[in-house]
Structure 1
Amino acid sequence: MSTTYKKRMQRKKEYIDSRIDEANIDTGIIVLLTGNGKGKSSSAMGMICRALGYDMKVGLVRFLKGEQQTGEDLFLDNHSNIFSAHMESGFTWNTQDQELDKKRAMETWLEAKKFLSDSKISVVVLDEITYMINYNYLDEAEILNTLSNRPENQHVVITGRAASKGLIDASDTVSEVEDVKHAFRANIRAQKGIDL
């Protein structure tokens, strides 16, 4: 190993260690996963697994996915620390009934609000809620108000494409997943264990 490389890595370690020392605030954060790429909901499911590893309670709220069951759902089903609410009508282009979709979105949001006011729930995932704002099914101001008034140490993970400026501004961490290439465009159907 060269002396130059070792010195560079020592400087890097000192810098990283100093940044870790400066990060001394413990509080609930909002993580927003947006963009057109694949993996936003999957990333949120990974955070659920992290939380469960620490025996934390999780509220999982899924908008738009309806009856579509994923591997995560099968794995997490009946876990004692998972509390879930799913919007029953699924993707709005399936129902083609705007009023029904608005009604189901509101019913699901009311369940989400319960999670967002419960200090025993450490992490709340609002999967695909960005669509509810973009389609005007839910009021963004009410969502932002609820997020800002949640228990102090509660974390929230929000997923969905085209996140509003309000959600971006309210979030502590924002990641945009870019779509570079997708198997579906090559007529490859959604695969169990990868897409479902």
Structure 2
Amino acid sequence: MSERDERHRKAMQTLKSRVDEKVAAADERRGQLLVFTGNGKGKTTAAWGTVTRALGYGYRVGVVQFIKGQWECGERNRLEDDHHLEVAIMATGFTWETQNRESDTQACREVWAEATRMLADPEVYLVVLDEITYMLKFGYLDIATVRQALENRPVEQTVIVTGRNAHRELQAMADTITEMTEVRHAFNAGLEARRGIDY
């Protein structure tokens, strides 16, 4: 064995030892709160990836789409026939299109009622609150209401929250926070959103 190969083998042994220690220490079993935030693209896509994973194991999943619900969504199109999936969509679509705080607030509260039902159901393994961060930012929902629903959910239920500028209280509650960082975005250079790639 060459000197380089021997160094590599020792480095991998050290890495394996560290990973094994972490695996052994991770002995708590419960649902989690995951926050996908940041200015980069891919937050909703990452959430749908986890939805696909959970459905692949036959778990029940609920997705509540605030903001982008009326927009085309390839992931939703592909998965919506799965009888383990329930999707609730905010009726107004993009809030910057409606420009009506009263109707947007009402639409938000109606779809939030669906979310609270899912969050209280022990049979729902995963709930995605897609773009709910905007509902908090615009004042359509208050953080105390959302926090209470998250704190009182079934212990085995995992929740994914997506959207930019995640509220500090959501971040404080989260088990995992992933921040998507925009380095470059094609849209800002004039490329239109591409069906099957961006939505």
Q: So what's the TM-score if we normalise by structure 1?
A: 0.98
Q: Paired residue for 1:148?
A: 151
Structure 1 segment 1-196 matched on structure 2, within 5 A:
2-196=5-199
CA offset digits 1:131-167 (Å, max 9, x no partner):
0000000011010011000000000000000011011
2: CA distance, partners of 1:192 / 1:68: 11
CA offset digits 1:22-79 (Å, max 9, x no partner):
1011101000000000000000000001101111000000001131121111101221
Alignment-mate amino acid for residue 35 of structure 1: G
Q: So what's the TM-score if we normalise by structure 2?
A: 0.97
Alignment-mate amino acid for residue 27 of structure 1: R
Are the counterparts in 1 of residues 131 and 161 from structure 2 also a CA contact under 8 Å? yes
Percent identity of paired positions between Structure 1 and Structure 2: 42
Alignment-mate amino acid for residue 168 of structure 2: K
Alignment-mate amino acid for residue 123 of structure 1: L
Mark the runs of 5 or more structure 1 residues left unpaired by the alignment: none
Q: SS of 2:69's equivalent?
A: coil
Q: SS of 1:107's equivalent?
A: helix
Mark the runs of 5 or more structure 2 residues left unpaired by the alignment: none
- Displaced runs of 4 or more, over 6 A: none
CA offset digits 1:100-123 (Å, max 9, x no partner):
000000001000000000000000
Are the counterparts in 1 of residues 80 and 86 from structure 2 also a CA contact under 8 Å? no
RMSD: 0.8
Are the counterparts in 1 of residues 127 and 160 from structure 2 also a CA contact under 8 Å? yes
Q: SS of 1:103's equivalent?
A: helix
